[in-house]
Amino acid sequence: MHIRTRYALPAAAAALSLLVTACGSKSADTATSSPGSPSASAAAPSTNPLTGLTMADAEQPHPVYLVKVPDTPPSTWGGGAAGQVGLGKADLITEELVEGGLCRLAALYYDKLPKEVGPVRSARLTDVGVAKPLNATIVTSGMAPVTFNGMKKAGVTFLNMNNPNIVRVTDLGNQPYDVAANLRRIGAEAKKPASRPHDYLPFGTKALAKGKPAKSVTTSVGHAACTDRWSYTGQHYVMSNSFMAKGDDFTPDTIIAATITTSSAPYRDPAGNPVPVSHFVGTGKALIFHGGQMVKATWVKPSEDSTVKFKDAAGKPLKIPAGRTWLDLVPGKGTFPAGSVSWGK
């Protein structure tokens, strides 16, 4: 854990409680509406809804948190950036396309809340379909007005820099890569949810059916900066070109590459780039990597509220082995160039 000197927003900025700066755009402040109920049925209360693994007490006194983190080289952040902080304690991470061919992570936490996660970046409309099945609270530095309105309409709760536990730090990077969140404190101050979240994936206790050997995996959701290279170690998958701080790596048990459709949000970023929306709803193809092998599947998610299900090649339900998961939302048909997935023995 890096010790960081924190500093508050200037008083003038704090006074603008109805404005949030995000990628050059401004929007209203914190939304507090309650999400709708997911369509999937609840699983056994003794397991983590993000991993399927046993917990001493799965009825946590806080909601699931979704933290937006950049997935770009720390060398571009400026300052003394050491890399992405706090991802090692995440339960599940989703990677999504953003403007300019870049990508961003949605790191999900439930079991362990770190004191520091960052850099915290702005949210996108894509996050609605990721957060809503879990009633997750999004932790973000801000968002554009279009995104704010979409979150409000969908009933998604979020926390931004009006929260005193989401602050700028002096050595994480230059603006806008200088925002960190103290999830432990945020969780301690949260109101306990009415019920445990539903399982995000259809977890099972058995290994996947035998598939094709795949001890190396390469996925891309954008341009070269969004190409991830994974190797199976015999227990977990390790990314060889990650931007995670040393000793703070997220090492998933399973990698899922789900092909989704894309469209353009009705605004552009400050540089004039169209802003992607990844639609994780409906159905599409998926490649599931676990235990050094690959299995082809179809994912099904009827609505933004729904948890995702999988079917094997014969159309039968497919369970995901319990553990931590990296979920790539790989562009397929739509407005933006298609991503890619490859693997080797």
The residue written with tokens 């602050």 in the block is 167
Report the pLDDT value the prediction gives residue 25, as an integer from 0 to 100: 35
Per the CB < 8 A criterion, the answer to whether 197 and 312 are in contact is no
Tokens of 81: 């950036």
d(CA 230, CA 250) in angstroms, rounded, equals: 12
Instruction: Enumerate residue ranges in the chain where pLDDT < 70.
Output: 1-45, 80
pLDDT of residue 45: 55
Beta bridge partners of 279: 261
Report the pLDDT value the prediction gives residue 209, as an integer from 0 to 100: 84
Q: Please report the pLDDT score of residue 24 as a whole number.
A: 35
* Distance from C-alpha of 112 to C-alpha of 200, rounded to nearest angstrom: 17
129 close to 261: Cβ distance less than 8 angstroms: no
How far, in Å, CA of 264 to CA of 97, rounded? 11
Non-local CB neighbours of 192 within 8 Å, separated by 6+ positions:
60, 61, 62
Distance CA 196, CA 198 (A): 7
- In this prediction the pTM is 0.88
